[in-house]
Each structure stands twice: as structure tokens, then as C-alpha cells.
């Protein structure tokens, strides 16, 4: 199995497409991954178990290559596929977020921060969106980032969420509201909106 695996997200994400596959366990997951990298020149962003009986594969590359790779993977696993998605020209923040590289105030604190830590710049807000599927979570996050001037602060896909996903964006309140509107429209269209909220002046407990 050969690929252009980029483990650290050092490449230029501009214009990249991603392909997402959610599969029924590791056997189908590894099969899909093998077929994808044989079918087209792509990068592997993630390939792992995220919760019981669910394995995800996330690929990056040119749109045409991702389409070919995802199609080959789907054909190889048949009924072993739960869900799939191809997103063209993803927002750079989403690409970096798939490597757990986020815009943070304190690099060691994460989204919850330390005791008394301020989680956003003065006057900023957080927008939180939860979706019932991981593919929808990616599509909704991409839409949020493209809709308004916000920063991706966290992205969780499946792990300890029963196959759901959520993401957090930060920015000026008006921008976060616009981003939430865009994300909610996408998730609602998918029939996969779990919930959403606007958090003003967030601070750690």
C-alpha cells in the first residue's frame, strides 16, 4: 500500500479536496484504504477506529483524484460502507483541523482551557454545532468557515460520541452567528442536525 502520507499537515491546503469514508470496522476500513491509495495519487489524513465497529478514512488531494479514490474504495467494500463524502476546495482551517492544529489562545489548554482561562479574545463568541453523522459534521464545518470570518477551535469526529460529531468556531459575535446559520442549513438539509448554540464571552469554569 503506497501513498503520499503527510503526517504533519505541512503542505499547502489551498484548493485541496478531501474524501471521507465511514466503514463497518477495521477489516473494511483497511480494504478501503488500500484500494483508495492504489487508485489515485492522494494523501492519507486519517485512518483509524473512532468507536466500536466504526473505522474512518480521510484522504486529501486534487478533486479528480479524490473522486477516483473514493469511488474505488466504495466499490471494494460494498455493504461495508456506512457513509462517504467528497468535499472540493475545503477551507484551509478545516484541513489543518483534521491534523488537530487549531487556533488557540493557550496551546496547552485546549477548548476547555485551564482554571480561569479566557477561551476567546475579548468581545468574541463561540459557535458550537453537533451533527448526527461525521460526514455531515465535515460538510457543516466547511460551510461555517466559508460563510463568515471565524476560526476553527475544535473538531471531533465520532470518538466517544457514538458516531456523532461536533465542532467549535470562534470570532466576532455577528460572524459566529452567520457561520452558525450556514452550518445549520447544511446539517438540516442532511437531516442530521443534533444541536447548536452561541456562547457569548466564553470562559473556563
Nearest to 136 by CA among 73, 180, 194, 204: 194
**201 pLDDT tier (thresholds 50, 70, 90):** confident
List C-alpha distances in Å: 196 to 34, 139, 166.
36, 15, 9
Note the maximum CA span of the chain: 51
pTM: 0.84
Q: Which domains does the chain have, with CATH numbers?
A: 17-87 (3.30.70.1710), 102-200 (3.30.70.1710)
Query: What are the pLDDT digits (tens) for 147-190?
Result: 999 999 999 998 878 889 999 999 999 999 999 999 999 999 99
Tell me the mean pLDDT in the region 15-20: 92
C-alpha cell at position 174: 455577528
Report yes or no: 103 and 139 within 8 Å, Cβ to Cβ. Answer: no
Query: What are the pLDDT digits (tens) for 47-105?
Result: 999 988 899 999 999 999 999 999 999 999 999 999 999 999 999 999 988 876 665 54
Amino acid at each position: 500500500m503506497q501513498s503520499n502520507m503527510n503526517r504533519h499537515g505541512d503542505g499547502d491546503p489551498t484548493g485541496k479536496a478531501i474524501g471521507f469514508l465511514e466503514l463497518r470496522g477495521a477489516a473494511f476500513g483497511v480494504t478501503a484504504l488500500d484500494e483508495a491509495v492504489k487508485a489515485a495519487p492522494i494523501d492519507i489524513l486519517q485512518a483509524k477506529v473512532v468507536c466500536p465497529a466504526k473505522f474512518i478514512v480521510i484522504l486529501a488531494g486534487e478533486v479528480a483524484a479524490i473522486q477516483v479514490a473514493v469511488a474505488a474504495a466504495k466499490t471494494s467494500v460494498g455493504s461495508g460502507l456506512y457513509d462517504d463524502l467528497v468535499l472540493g476546495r475545503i477551507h484551509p482551517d478545516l484541513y489543518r483541523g483534521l491534523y488537530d492544529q487549531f487556533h488557540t489562545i493557550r496551546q496547552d489548554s485546549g477548548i476547555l482551557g485551564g482554571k480561569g482561562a479566557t477561551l476567546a479574545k475579548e468581545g468574541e463568541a463561540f459557535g458550537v454545532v453537533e451533527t448526527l453523522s461525521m460526514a455531515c459534521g465535515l460538510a457543516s464545518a466547511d460551510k461555517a468557515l466559508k460563510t463568515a470570518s471565524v476560526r476553527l477551535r475544535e473538531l471531533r469526529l465520532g470518538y466517544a460520541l457514538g458516531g456523532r460529531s461536533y465542532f467549535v468556531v470562534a470570532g466576532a459575535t455577528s460572524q459566529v452567528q452567520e457561520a452558525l446559520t450556514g452550518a445549520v442549513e447544511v446539517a438540516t438539509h442532511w437531516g442530521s442536525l443534533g444541536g447548536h448554540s452561541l456562547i457569548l464571552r466564553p470562559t473556563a469554569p
